[in-house]
Amino acid sequence: MQKGWEMKKFVLGLVALVIVTFSGELEDGEKAYQNSDFKKAFQSFIKVCNSKNLSGCNWLGVLYAKGQGTKQNYFKAKEYYQKACDGGNVFGCNNLGNLYRDSQGVKQNKTKAKELFGKACDMGNQYGCDQYAKLNSQGY
Protein backbone atom coordinates (compact mmCIF):
# COMPACT_ATOMS: atom_id res chain seq x y z
CA MET A 1 0.00 0.00 0.00
CA GLN A 2 2.79 2.44 0.92
CA LYS A 3 4.65 1.77 -2.36
CA GLY A 4 1.54 2.61 -4.39
CA TRP A 5 1.09 5.92 -2.56
CA GLU A 6 4.75 6.84 -3.06
CA MET A 7 4.46 6.12 -6.78
CA LYS A 8 1.32 8.28 -7.05
CA LYS A 9 3.10 11.17 -5.28
CA PHE A 10 6.07 10.79 -7.62
CA VAL A 11 3.87 10.82 -10.74
CA LEU A 12 1.87 13.82 -9.52
CA GLY A 13 5.09 15.69 -8.76
CA LEU A 14 6.45 14.87 -12.21
CA VAL A 15 3.23 16.08 -13.88
CA ALA A 16 3.38 19.33 -11.90
CA LEU A 17 7.00 19.85 -12.96
CA VAL A 18 6.12 19.34 -16.65
CA ILE A 19 3.21 21.79 -16.39
CA VAL A 20 5.37 24.45 -14.75
CA THR A 21 8.18 23.89 -17.27
CA PHE A 22 5.97 24.32 -20.32
CA SER A 23 4.02 27.16 -18.74
CA GLY A 24 7.34 28.98 -18.39
CA GLU A 25 8.22 28.09 -21.97
CA LEU A 26 4.92 29.62 -23.15
CA GLU A 27 5.67 32.81 -21.23
CA ASP A 28 9.19 32.86 -22.71
CA GLY A 29 7.74 32.54 -26.20
CA GLU A 30 5.21 35.30 -25.61
CA LYS A 31 7.92 37.59 -24.23
CA ALA A 32 10.16 36.84 -27.20
CA TYR A 33 7.25 37.62 -29.54
CA GLN A 34 6.59 40.95 -27.81
CA ASN A 35 10.30 41.77 -28.24
CA SER A 36 10.13 40.84 -31.95
CA ASP A 37 12.51 37.90 -31.40
CA PHE A 38 10.41 35.71 -33.64
CA LYS A 39 12.95 32.90 -34.08
CA LYS A 40 13.16 32.42 -30.32
CA ALA A 41 9.37 32.62 -30.03
CA PHE A 42 9.03 30.00 -32.77
CA GLN A 43 11.36 27.60 -30.94
CA SER A 44 9.51 28.10 -27.65
CA PHE A 45 6.09 27.59 -29.21
CA ILE A 46 7.18 24.37 -30.94
CA LYS A 47 8.12 22.92 -27.55
CA VAL A 48 4.89 24.12 -25.99
CA CYS A 49 2.68 22.82 -28.80
CA ASN A 50 4.47 19.47 -28.79
CA SER A 51 3.66 19.22 -25.08
CA LYS A 52 -0.05 19.47 -26.01
CA ASN A 53 -0.44 23.09 -24.89
CA LEU A 54 -2.92 24.49 -27.39
CA SER A 55 -1.85 28.11 -26.86
CA GLY A 56 1.54 27.17 -28.26
CA CYS A 57 -0.14 25.61 -31.30
CA ASN A 58 -2.17 28.75 -31.93
CA TRP A 59 0.97 30.89 -31.61
CA LEU A 60 2.75 28.68 -34.17
CA GLY A 61 -0.16 29.33 -36.52
CA VAL A 62 0.27 33.06 -36.01
CA LEU A 63 3.98 32.87 -36.79
CA TYR A 64 3.41 30.81 -39.93
CA ALA A 65 0.59 33.08 -41.11
CA LYS A 66 2.70 36.19 -40.69
CA GLY A 67 6.03 34.69 -41.73
CA GLN A 68 7.61 35.64 -38.43
CA GLY A 69 10.55 33.49 -37.32
CA THR A 70 9.82 31.13 -40.19
CA LYS A 71 8.82 31.25 -43.83
CA GLN A 72 5.21 32.32 -44.37
CA ASN A 73 3.08 29.23 -44.89
CA TYR A 74 -0.70 29.48 -44.65
CA PHE A 75 -1.06 25.70 -44.99
CA LYS A 76 1.04 25.20 -41.84
CA ALA A 77 -0.83 28.04 -40.13
CA LYS A 78 -4.09 26.24 -40.89
CA GLU A 79 -2.74 22.97 -39.44
CA TYR A 80 -1.75 24.60 -36.16
CA TYR A 81 -4.91 26.70 -35.88
CA GLN A 82 -6.96 23.56 -36.55
CA LYS A 83 -5.10 21.64 -33.85
CA ALA A 84 -5.67 24.47 -31.38
CA CYS A 85 -9.34 24.90 -32.31
CA ASP A 86 -10.07 21.16 -32.20
CA GLY A 87 -8.70 21.15 -28.66
CA GLY A 88 -10.92 24.04 -27.59
CA ASN A 89 -8.57 27.01 -27.98
CA VAL A 90 -10.78 30.01 -28.80
CA PHE A 91 -8.00 31.93 -30.55
CA GLY A 92 -7.26 28.97 -32.81
CA CYS A 93 -10.93 28.92 -33.85
CA ASN A 94 -10.97 32.66 -34.55
CA ASN A 95 -7.72 32.57 -36.50
CA LEU A 96 -8.86 29.58 -38.54
CA GLY A 97 -12.13 31.40 -39.22
CA ASN A 98 -10.13 34.40 -40.47
CA LEU A 99 -8.24 32.16 -42.93
CA TYR A 100 -11.48 30.76 -44.37
CA ARG A 101 -13.19 34.16 -44.48
CA ASP A 102 -10.24 35.86 -46.15
CA SER A 103 -9.14 32.97 -48.40
CA GLN A 104 -5.64 32.79 -46.97
CA GLY A 105 -4.09 29.43 -47.80
CA VAL A 106 -7.51 27.81 -48.09
CA LYS A 107 -10.39 28.10 -50.52
CA GLN A 108 -12.66 30.87 -49.32
CA ASN A 109 -15.56 29.37 -47.40
CA LYS A 110 -17.55 31.90 -45.42
CA THR A 111 -19.96 29.21 -44.22
CA LYS A 112 -17.02 27.34 -42.65
CA ALA A 113 -15.70 30.64 -41.27
CA LYS A 114 -19.09 31.34 -39.69
CA GLU A 115 -19.08 27.88 -38.10
CA LEU A 116 -15.63 28.49 -36.61
CA PHE A 117 -16.55 31.94 -35.33
CA GLY A 118 -19.69 30.40 -33.84
CA LYS A 119 -17.55 27.85 -32.00
CA ALA A 120 -15.41 30.68 -30.60
CA CYS A 121 -18.56 32.60 -29.65
CA ASP A 122 -19.89 29.52 -27.83
CA MET A 123 -16.66 29.61 -25.81
CA GLY A 124 -17.47 33.18 -24.76
CA ASN A 125 -15.29 35.14 -27.19
CA GLN A 126 -16.79 38.47 -28.29
CA TYR A 127 -14.74 38.69 -31.50
CA GLY A 128 -16.10 35.30 -32.54
CA CYS A 129 -19.65 36.44 -31.77
CA ASP A 130 -19.20 39.65 -33.76
CA GLN A 131 -17.76 37.86 -36.79
CA TYR A 132 -20.49 35.21 -36.62
CA ALA A 133 -23.18 37.91 -36.55
CA LYS A 134 -21.56 39.77 -39.45
CA LEU A 135 -21.40 36.66 -41.65
CA ASN A 136 -24.91 35.67 -40.60
CA SER A 137 -26.24 39.11 -41.66
CA GLN A 138 -24.55 38.56 -45.05
CA GLY A 139 -26.55 35.35 -45.49
CA TYR A 140 -23.93 32.75 -44.64
pLDDT digits (tens, 9 = 90+) for 73-86: 999 999 999 999 99
The whole model's pTM is what? 0.82
- Residue 35, Cβ density class (10 Å: 0-12 exposed, 13-18 middle, ≥19 buried): exposed
Contact 63, 42 (CB under 8 A): yes
Q: What local confidence, expressed as pLDDT, does residue 5 receive?
A: 52
DSSP SS3 for 58: helix
Angle at 96 between CA 90 and CA 97, to 5 degrees: 90
Cα distance between residue 118 and residue 140, in whole Å: 12
To the nearest 5 percent, what fractions of the chain are helix, strand and coil?
80, 0, 20
Q: Which own/partner contact pairs does 58-67 have at CB distance under 8 Å and 24+ positions apart? A: 58/84, 58/89, 58/91, 58/92, 58/95, 59/29, 59/30, 59/33, 61/92, 61/95, 61/96, 62/95, 63/38, 65/95, 65/99, 65/104, 65/105
Look up residue 22 and give its amino acid. F
Q: What local confidence, expressed as pLDDT, does residue 23 receive?
A: 61
pLDDT digits (tens, 9 = 90+) for 97-119: 999 999 999 999 999 999 999 99
Task: List, for the chain, all residue ranges whose pLDDT scores fall below the cut of 50.
Answer: 7-22
Q: What local confidence, expressed as pLDDT, does residue 24 receive?
A: 86
Helix axes 110-122, 126-137, angle to 10 degrees: 140
DSSP SS3 for 71: coil
